[in-house]
Every structure is written in C-alpha cells, then in structure tokens.
Structure 1
C-alpha cells in the first residue's frame, strides 16, 4: 500500500490529547493566567498536535469560573481554522443538559468548517453545575442522558425529523440543518465505570471512551467485554466497535524528570477542582511513584514507560485510541509542548510498531 492510501485509511491505533482548559494557579510561580491566555494555549497545543502528527484533539465542557471552556464547538471551530488534519472532538459534551438538536447543528457546522474532522464524545459529566444553570432537575440525570442520546443518534441519521420525547418539545417534519460533510458524525459515549453505560454504547453501535484517571485499569476490563458483547448481540460488526482510553498523563525524557515536573501541578489540580472541600488529595511526592507504576493508569514517565503502559492496557482492552490530558494545574505551556512532541515522535511510533508485530 502506498503512502497516500495509508494516509487516507488512517492509522490503526490513534493517539490524541485533550484539555478541559482549567485555570489553576501555578503552584511554583503563584501566577494565574487569564481565560484569554488559557484559550490561546489551547489553540497553540492543538496546532502543535496537528503539526506533530497526532490524530485527535479534544476539548471538554465545564461551566465554572475555574475552567475556560464552556462553548466547546466555538473553541473547536477556532482550532479548525489553524489546523489541517487532526480530528476535533468534544471531551465531553454534557448531553444531559444540552439540546441534542443544537448539539448536532453545532457539530455539523464544525464538520463543514473543518473539512470533515468533527466528532462528539457525549457524556454525563463529572460536575453537576449545568443542571441548575440550564434549568434541569438532578432527579432526571439518567433519563435525560438516555433520551438525548437516542435523539442525537436519530438526528445523525435523518435530515427531516418526526420525534416526541419527555424532556423537549416534539419535532414535526423538522429540517435538521446543516448536514455534516461526513456521511454521519462519529459519535462516542464517555463512560466512567458503569457497565450499563458500556452495554448501552455497544447496543447502539457507537464508540466508547473510557475515562480511567487513576488506579489499576484491570477493574475496567469488564467494560470492554460488556461493550463488545452487547454490540455483537445488536448485530454490529467488530470493526465498528471502537474503544478509546483517556487518562491524565505527562511525558519527559526520563522518569524522574516526569515525576519531578508533574507532581506539584497534579497535586494542585486535584485539590483545586475537587467537587468538595472535604475531598483533599494528600498523596506525598515520595508516594506518587506508586501512582505511575506500570500497572497503574496514570500515564506519567519516560517515553518507553508510556509505551509499555499503553501496550499493557491494550492487552486488557484491545482499544484503538489513546488520549492523554497533559495540561493540568497550571503546568507551563513549554512543558506541555515538550510532552506533546514526545507523545507524537517517540511514543506513538513505538506503540504502532509493536502492535503491527502482533498483527
């Protein structure tokens, strides 16, 4: 196969990064950058990821003053104008409190602007501030997500919609415009640890993005098994059942450098964004090494260590996408940029080479 055909088909294992645009005081300098500066860093990271050859860039949705990104499609549309090939995804779209029609139209527009690079990872979100903000009831948490996900899938299939549900006004011969450049927008469901969510994603035939931010990945293995079993029972082809693993991470030339540079910012981030003042992260620097061990999900270390960690997880999940959140806790952009380069130029080629040997 020539290079042109390989590029058209895309890599068999994809690498990406994502950001939530958190605004946390730099624990070493004491400085806190402005939301404008933070968004400029997000755009710069996306450009660098695109130029370095990574496959996916994602931005997540929050509605708090300590995060700069609430309007995900707007940020991705800005990124689309300064990048050429990288896929652009939400990470995640909080679908429980967002009108699916608006979500679809926004991402279809992004798809047109980006030349067919838009994706959606839909989830329920780790924070709950969007419920009172947009006038939804917490007691409808699960039902809202299920109904909105089903509607979003239908919107992806049909230009004209007739639909009726519980939480929004009916659609009667409604024209859903614009249509994306791709035949359909790629849809993923973001999953924490719920087997029910994995079963739903498999039965619907959409991708599943598993967020494993710390601890052993082995307890999540059942999610991949449930997802594939459910997908097969619903008649979906194995090649259409895609799994992504998303993790916190940081890469430096040596393992000690990665630990030394990342730990203070990770510690600051965990405490700054905690949903409760009672949930204090108290892991000391000496103990932090246990949290980045080969059998732990936290992807911090040298390039070779990250390669080994991804390959170990691939044995568990058989996933075909890995995405790391690198820029947390006020970590200076120069360090983030260096980690992006190492992920693209050292980790990704080595992982793909080893997976090719197995195939």
Structure 2
C-alpha cells in the first residue's frame, strides 16, 4: 500500500489573518512539503497541473525535477496531467526525461482537468474533452512503446517515422493512472489499457465512486488483465487533525468555510459526513480510512490533500508529522490484515521492469533438447 500527498497548488488567503502568500512563496512551500512527505515515511508526492489563478503548478515537470534532486525514495506523480490540452508528443518527451532524472521514480495521473477555459487557451474545444483524452492517450501509448511511430488522427498533425526522445528508462514507460471524478469513459479507458484508476473521491458521496470503481474493476477483468480484485485503484482523501477533536474542528472551520473549492456551501459537518474529509483526532482519521476498503475493495494508493484553503506552511508540516507518525503506520497494518495474496502492491518502476522481464522469459520457446528430455 502506498501513501502520499497530492496538491492542487492553490494560492489562497489565510482567513485567520488575511495574509496571502506570493506565488514565489507558495511554490517554495510546495517544494518544502514534498521533501517533508519523504521525511515522514510516505511514498508518493503528486502535483496538479493548472494554467489559471489561483493555482501555480503550470509546469509540473520543472517542480518534480527539483524534488527528484532533493529526495531519494519518493515516487513523483501528477494530479493530474492534462491529456486533453497537452500535446502527447510533449508529454512523452517530458515525462521520459523526468523518469531518467528521477531514476524511475515517476508515474502520471492522466485527466481532463476541471477548468473549462483551459481548452480554448490551448486551441481545443471542451466539447471534445472525452475524444481528446482517448485519442491523445492512444498516441502517447505508442510513442512510449514503439521506436518509430506513424500516426494520423483528428486532433493533431500527422507523424511519420517519429521517435520521441529520450526513450523511457529501461525500455519501460512510466505507470499511468487515469484520474476521474465523474466519467465512466475514463474508467473504461483505464481498464482497456490495464492502467490504474484514481478516483479522487473528495467531493461526492461514496456511492458515486463505488459505482465508478466497480465498473473499472469489471472492465479490467473483461479486457483480460487479471481478476477484478487485481485492478489497480487509487483514492483521494482529506484530513485535519489535532490531539483533541474539538480543537481540530475549531482550528479548521475558518479554512473550510472560506475555501475556494467548497467554502460557502455545505456545512463542514455535512461535508465530513458525505465525503472522506475527516476533521478530528488521529484515531478518527485511522478509523475512517481503515474502513475505505469495505466500500472500494483492496486498493494500492491513498493520497491526502493537506495543503489547501490557505493553511500556512507551518500548519501543513505539523499535519504531515501527525499523518506520518501516528496515522499511516497504523493504517499500513490495518490494510495488510487479510489482504489477499493476489492483490498487487502499488506500482513502482522496479516492479514494472521485473514484470516485463518475466514476460520476456516466459515468451522464449523451450530448447528442443529440453522439450524432448521432458
């Protein structure tokens, strides 16, 4: 089981003192948070991609490249990479390069994003969102897996004998998650390729995500990638903790009430009842998230959103200490209990290389002499 943090990189005013970080301060804070994630023993740091205020991560590979140089074990991911408005050729090149820089500690979460205006900014039409995601990813797959690609599609200029460079590290492309909060077409795409499905279940009730994940698992098995329970699933999450649950509620309420995403909407109590947001003691967070597999089955990756809504860096780092020291060690034990042997671990580059090599060995015909002897 892999645990980690994802950030959307919002620049938000702290409602308790009306202070707003500069873009520079927020960027440097994200870099600090990423290094803290490794320090407290988590495996993954995922960075969103946005091209509009109040968000700053417009160039994820730049930031992740820096984080790669400052860490040793951390898996660097995205949350998400915009497969609709980015050129698949540039994605292939940028993330293969990052893969080399980080010695394989890279995977991606593909998504359509949640900001409509981004489409025309990059010459695209939001009405083509699903077709763009499908066509662009089909091309990306080929760019990473074929040395020379001939391509003709609807949304970009044709390619003739094109080779993206550098080639993926060890000849193995980064693992891909397909992130979605609403679209069964994206769950279908993830299942078709045997990729991971990340349900960022931080906004809607669990029943909605249970249907999406169940559909993905069924289609994963349909396409012959393994049993439904062997499909690769990731979930989002949110928490704010204090030793005393009443203190956590008191401290977090002004941030919740003024957050640009869900502020001025449902009450915090309603939101915590209907979504994974947990505001309380570490034990309350443990109890809530240990129960996730009752709804979704055994899964591979749990990411938390912790640095949003104007929370100051000092507070975020304190939250990461609590999460890494008090919550995740217990969750690891809980998720390990009665976990079926056929349920895969979270994806890593080393595991993907080993799987590829094992498949190559299995495909080699047995020598004639050995076959006769047997």
1:97-117 alpha-carbon deviations (Å, 9 max, x no partner): 000110111111111111111
Which residue number in structure 1 is paired with residue 103 of structure 2? Answer: 115
Which residue number in structure 1 is paired with residue 264 of structure 2? Answer: 281
5+ residue gaps, structure 1, are: 1-12, 275-279
Which residue number in structure 1 is paired with residue 366 of structure 2? Answer: none
1:28 Cα deviation after fit: 1.1
Is 1:337 aligned with 2:317? yes
Which residue number in structure 1 is paired with residue 360 of structure 2? Answer: none
Number of residue pairs the alignment of both structures matches: 336
Determine if contact 2:201/2:275 at 8 Å carries over to the other structure: no
Which residue number in structure 2 is paired with residue 5 of structure 1? Answer: none
| Counterpart Cα distance in 1 of 2:84 and 2:336 | 39
| Counterpart Cα distance in 1 of 2:202 and 2:214 | 20
Determine if contact 1:61/1:94 at 8 Å carries over to the other structure: yes
| Counterpart Cα distance in 2 of 1:96 and 1:215 | 24
1:215 Cα deviation after fit: 4.1
1:47 Cα deviation after fit: 0.5
Which residue number in structure 2 is paired with residue 256 of structure 1? Answer: 246
Is 1:324 aligned with 2:304? yes
Equivalent residue of 2:5, what SS? Answer: strand
Which residue number in structure 1 is paired with residue 196 of structure 2? Answer: 207
1:300-343 alpha-carbon deviations (Å, 9 max, x no partner): 33221111111221111122211111111210111111111122
| Counterpart Cα distance in 2 of 1:300 and 1:124 | 29
Which residue number in structure 1 is paired with residue 50 of structure 2? Answer: 62
Larger Rg: 2
User: Which of the numbers 237, 253, 258 marks the counterpart of 1:268?
Assistant: 258
Stretches of 4+ aligned residues off by more than 6 angstroms: none
When residues 166 and 201 of structure 1 are mapped into structure 2, their CA distance, relative to the original with a 3 A threshold, is same
Equivalent residue of 1:96, what SS? Answer: coil
Which residue number in structure 1 is paired with residue 187 of structure 2? Answer: 198
| Counterpart Cα distance in 1 of 2:311 and 2:40 | 20
Which residue number in structure 1 is paired with residue 276 of structure 2? Answer: 297
TM-score of the superposition, structure 1-length normalised?
Answer: 0.89
5+ residue gaps, structure 2, are: 340-374
Computed over aligned residues only, the root mean square deviation of the Cα atoms, in angstroms, reads 1.7
Question: Which structure 2 residues correspond to residues 37-48 of structure 1 after superposition, within 5 A?
Answer: 37-48=25-36
Moved more, 341-350 or 51-60: 341-350
When residues 65 and 307 of structure 1 are mapped into structure 2, their CA distance, relative to the original with a 3 A threshold, is same
Which residue number in structure 2 is paired with residue 161 of structure 1? Answer: 149
1:129-187 alpha-carbon deviations (Å, 9 max, x no partner): 22121111222222111111111222221222122111111121111111232522100
Which residue number in structure 2 is paired with residue 277 of structure 1? Answer: none
| Counterpart Cα distance in 2 of 1:253 and 1:82 | 31
Which residue number in structure 1 is paired with residue 11 of structure 2? Answer: 23
1:17-50 alpha-carbon deviations (Å, 9 max, x no partner): 0111101111111111111110110010001101
1:292 Cα deviation after fit: 2.1
Equivalent residue of 2:130, what SS? Answer: helix
Equivalent residue of 2:154, what SS? Answer: coil
| Counterpart Cα distance in 1 of 2:50 and 2:257 | 20
Determine if contact 1:121/1:189 at 8 Å carries over to the other structure: yes
Determine if contact 1:63/1:129 at 8 Å carries over to the other structure: no
Which residue number in structure 2 is paired with residue 188 of structure 1? Answer: 177
Moved more, 245-254 or 143-152: 245-254
Is 1:247 aligned with 2:241? no
